[in-house]
Chains A and B, each alone.
Chain A
Amino acid sequence: MDLHDLTAAYALDALDPDEAEAYERHLSQCEECREQLAELNESATALAFGTVAPAPPPRLRASILDTAAAERSNVVPLLRRPWVARGLGVAAAAAACVIVGFAVALSQSSRTRVVTVVLGPDRTATLHITGLSSAPSGKTYEAWVIPAGRRARPAGLFSGGGGTTVRLHGTVPRNAVVAVTVERTGGASAPTTTPLFSARA
């Protein structure tokens, strides 16, 4: 059995359990199959939208949320604190925000762009951006972490275009600012333009 051949069947959930297990083991060692699977999974999932979808009974939503709540009832209650988001540049605007447990979700919503910073308990952070057009030719977006009173540290390059998720390099200290600028391809060692977006963590 050539395991490379099982990618489509795996994406369609058309493998028997022992085949699926063998394929998953193979997947952990085969970059080619991982890449192909990511593509075929998207196509297979498109089929989920290809069938008529009657509304589920309202009790289903309630049942899921109640069960979920019961499972986490032993978790520390949500910590809600006032949140300050400050724009560094003219383009930055006041932000709507959610503070959840140890996590922080910060949103800056304009008509076309949504930026969310999700900060983990270990102070690592992920930037989620939708509606950001692709960086112009010869340019890149660059994320920055600016610890209070210190110089900006490069935290990752990305090209934008549709939905973007960027795992920021390193950690985000308390009171640091997370910002995004447009830079020359290859990135800069310090911001050279006004941030498109910035927020204090």
Chain B
Amino acid sequence: MDRQLAHLSDEALVALAARSEQSALAELYDRYGRTAYGLALRVVRDKTLAEDAVQDAFLTIWRTASRFVPERGKASTWILTLVHRRAVDTVRREQRRRAESLDQAAEPSVEGVEEDAWLRLQRERVQAALRRLPDTQREALELAYYGGFSQTELAERLGQPLGTIKSRMFTGLSRLREQLGEPGTEKSWTSTT
């Protein structure tokens, strides 16, 4: 591993990846691969499909890094959005998913999983923020994001008007944002100064 890159920002790494620097892609993977895999696994619930989703996403990063616009958002958001999109596409292709009940999207057990200490803190922080949301909003966010259900599917399955689902997702995400404080500060500058 090229430790020279370890102190660069995610955005700088993406800029280097755009110029075919493989060690920059490796460093991005070392930073986000584990979160990406955990996310993909949660959505697709199959190890092989999760690996495929993560691989597709990182190769998309490699191929399209030059089109990344830092002004529009953080690199980590871009990376994990690509992973999530891949995972959701995969699970929607899988017909069997359609027949499953909604509680199949529930949080997998942490038992037997060796967690990275920093990632565990992050997980607990996000889960605590989710718990502070009203049940209907948390349910809408979890089923959409982790379950891969579309808003139309959710409206049908929860027996709610589409407008209700939309507003639960919007209010839920906005409140989550407040709960988590200013995004972007959690990793880079709590440790500085």
Contact partners of B26 in chain A: CB under 8 A: 61, 65
**B1-33 CB contacts (< 8 Å) to partner A:** 4-5, 7-9, 11-12, 15-16, 19-22, 24-26, 29-30, 33
Chain B 174-186 against A: per-residue CB contact (8 Å), 1 yes, 0 no? 1011001001110
Q: Could you name 16 residue pairs across A and B whose Cβ atoms are closer than 8 Å?
A: A12-B144, A15-B150, A40-B173, A42-B183, A43-B180, A47-B146, A51-B107, A51-B108, A53-B115, A56-B37, A60-B55, A61-B33, A96-B4, A100-B24, A118-B12, A162-B185
Cross-chain contact A8 with B177 (CB below 8 angstroms): no
Q: Which of B8, B50, B84 contacts A13 (CB 8 A)?
A: B84
Interface size range of chain B in the complex = 35 or more
Q: Does the CB pair B170–A163 fall under 8 Å? A: no
B22 lies within 8 A of A39 (CB): no
CA distance A166 to B26 in the complex (A): 24
B55 pairs with A63, CB closer than 8 A = yes
Judge if A133 is at the interface, Cβ distance under 8 Å: yes
Complex Cα–Cα for A133 and B50 (A): 39
Across the interface, which residues of B come within 8 angstroms of A44, CB to CB? 81, 84, 145, 173
Query: Does A192 sit at the interface, judged by CB under 8 A?
Result: no
Query: Across the interface, which residues of B come within 8 angstroms of A45, CB to CB?
Result: 76-77, 80-81, 84
A contact residues vs B (CB 8 Å cutoff): 5-9, 11-16, 34, 38-57, 60-61, 63-65, 67-69, 71-72, 75, 78, 96, 98, 100-103, 105, 107, 109, 112-114, 116, 118, 126, 128-131, 133, 162-163, 165, 167
Known contacts A45-B77, A47-B146, A64-B55, A128 near B35 by CB under 8 Å: no
| CB pair B166 A5 closer than 8 Å | yes
A41 adjacent to B108 (CB under 8 Å): no
B127 interfacial contact with A, CB 8 Å: yes
State in angstroms the CA–CA spacing of A72 and B29 once bound together. 18
CB of B188 closer than 8 Å to a CB of A: yes
The listed residue (A52, A100, A130) touching B21 by CB distance below 8 A is A100
A105 touches B177 (CB 8 A): no
Do residues B7 and A107 form an inter-chain contact, with CB atoms below 8 A?
yes
Main secondary structure of the interface of B (DSSP, over half): helix
- B101 CB-CB contact with A under 8 Å: no
Chain A min CB distance to B82 (Å): 11
Tell me the bound Cα distance from A38 to B174 in angstroms: 12
B37-56 CB mask vs A (1 if < 8 Å, else 0) is: 11101100001001100110
Given A71-B59, A98-B21, A114-B9, 13 more A-B residue pairs with CB atoms under 8 Å apart are: A5-B163, A8-B173, A16-B150, A38-B73, A42-B183, A48-B35, A48-B38, A50-B130, A51-B38, A57-B47, A131-B193, A162-B184, A163-B188
Contact of A49 among B9, B25, B71, B126 (CB under 8 A): B126
A74 to B129 alpha-carbon distance, docked (Å): 48
The docked-state distance in angstroms from the alpha carbon of A65 to that of B24 is 10
State whether A107 touches B20 (Cβ < 8 A): no
Given the interface contacts A47-B126, A63-B55, A162-B188, does A130 sit within 8 Å of B9 by beta carbon? yes
Set of chain A residues within 8 Å of B85, measured between Cβ atoms: 13
